[in-house]
Amino acid sequence: MATVNIAMVWADALLWAQQPQIELSWNTVIRWALWLVLGFFGAFPGIVAYMVWAERKVAARFQDRIGPNRVGPLGLLQPIADAIKLITKENIVPRTADQWVHLLAPVIILVSAFLVLAVVPFGIGLTPVNLPSGLIYLVAVSSLSPLGIFLAGWSSRNKYSLLGAMRSVAQLVSYEVPQVLATVPVVLWAGSLSLNTIFDKQMEHGWFVFSPPGFLGFLILLIASIAEVNRTPFDLPEAESEIIAGFHTEYSGMRFGLFFLAEYLSVFAISCIMTAIYFGGGTLVPWSDFPAGTLGAIHSAYLPASINATFILVNLVLVAVFFAKVGFFIFLMFWVRATLPRMRVDRLMNYAWKSLVPLSIANVLVAAIWYELVLRPGVVFKVAGWDVRWFVGTLVTAPIVLLLIWLVARCNRLSEKAEVASTTAPAAAR
């Protein structure tokens, strides 16, 4: 009888898993279609175009130049001219290339970058798709990018493209590990994989970045994300002095433009993710639910019963603050590109496996300590009537975080000295 009951439980679970969890009404289909059309063909290409303009302007200021200034006022029409040029250029494909795979590779990378934005909570009720396992979805769709890059290098039938693709895949797979581990503290603190729930928890407990393990997790996520989108100083797949242009050497015209579009869209996407999971989304100040709190107790994933002027004003503020934070992260990546030189390939891989991975694993344990001291329901530390949980948690976890960073740096330094000694000893003996 017990066996029958267990079988029925499993059968019910399997049947429930096959049922649609979202009611596919016409309203839902139309809303998704609008998100797709407006995003894929309207908003996001425009954002990418003017991100390129902004980067050229920022880099020019760093290098004491003017930047784009010929096409339109302040060069604002230069992105449109560049887009027309890419669209009208001839697509030259090598004779021996795999034609279909050569075309499919940039499409896969672009779709991967675009799908990441599907679960980002831009405001109250402004999440395109509210998934209970949003972070798992992000890991899954971002994992398509290495596949597209390898297909691009392999299908070109060019040894330099293949070497660039293999090196790029090695880099992306290596930095995916600390990138995913850096989000584990957020999942532990929010108790959910949904980005909407994470946003709601930060309105309740403050931005997650304002804690020692949260700040360390954010730094690891930032560094790993820069490596994931092949930005300087991690742009080894495009090391022109070694492998020409890497995996997209044999691409031209709009096929190359798709790689370009995917890279900048990925920069925009990871900036949105960092804003959502560590910087409170569109909330204006930490430790406050303003302006979303003016709507009362609602879940950020759902629209309220009535849409009024207050709801519209609150969302305008949330979206404006959200994109201001995103703009700061994008500027930070531009700043890094204009400042730092490219890393050596062996140091790039060692940095991922010998520094970021150990730190991200240890940071999960420190995040658990922070949860027990600060976030666990029922835990109270009061001094003269004031809640001092945050100060207690900081006093306990900050020395641990600093000690972890010192230990990892110390171990790596000793390891480098041992490697240098082992390579110089045979030469000295001769």
Give the pLDDT band of residue 427 (cuts 50, 70, 90). low
Give the three-state DSSP class for 206: coil
Name the token pair of 117: 């934005």
Give the three-state DSSP class for 386: strand
Give the pLDDT band of residue 18 (cuts 50, 70, 90). very low
Which range among 45-54, 216-225, 253-262 has the greatest average pLDDT? Answer: 216-225
The pLDDT tens digits for 312-334 are 888 888 899 999 999 999 999 99
The DSSP annotation for 183-199 comes to THHHHHHHTSS-HHHHH
Residues 6+ apart with CB under 8 A from 55: 334, 337
The answer to whether 128 touches 78, Cβ cutoff 8 Å, is no
Give the pLDDT band of residue 306 (cuts 50, 70, 90). low
The pLDDT tens digits for 247-275 are 888 888 888 888 888 889 999 999 999 99
pLDDT of residue 141 exceeding 60, the answer is yes
The pLDDT tens digits for 23-37 are 566 776 776 677 667
The answer to whether 253 touches 89, Cβ cutoff 8 Å, is yes
How far apart CA 255 and CA 253 sit, in angstroms, is 6
Give the three-state DSSP class for 49: helix
Q: Which of 257, 272, 249 is nearest to 322 (CA)?
A: 272
How does the average pLDDT of the chain come out, rounded? 83
Map out the domains of the chain as residue ranges.
29-88, 92-300+309-344
Q: Taking residues 238-243, report their average pLDDT.
A: 61
Q: DSSP class of residue 235? A: -
- pLDDT score recorded for residue 223: 94
pLDDT of residue 8 exceeding 60, the answer is no
Give the three-state DSSP class for 385: coil
**Residues shown for the chain:** 430
Name the token pair of 91: 């697509």
The answer to whether 196 touches 300, Cβ cutoff 8 Å, is yes
Q: Taking residues 370-375, report their average pLDDT.
A: 89
Enumerate the H helices of 340-388 as residue ranges: 345-350, 357-370
Give the three-state DSSP class for 387: strand
- pLDDT score recorded for residue 90: 84
- pLDDT score recorded for residue 296: 63
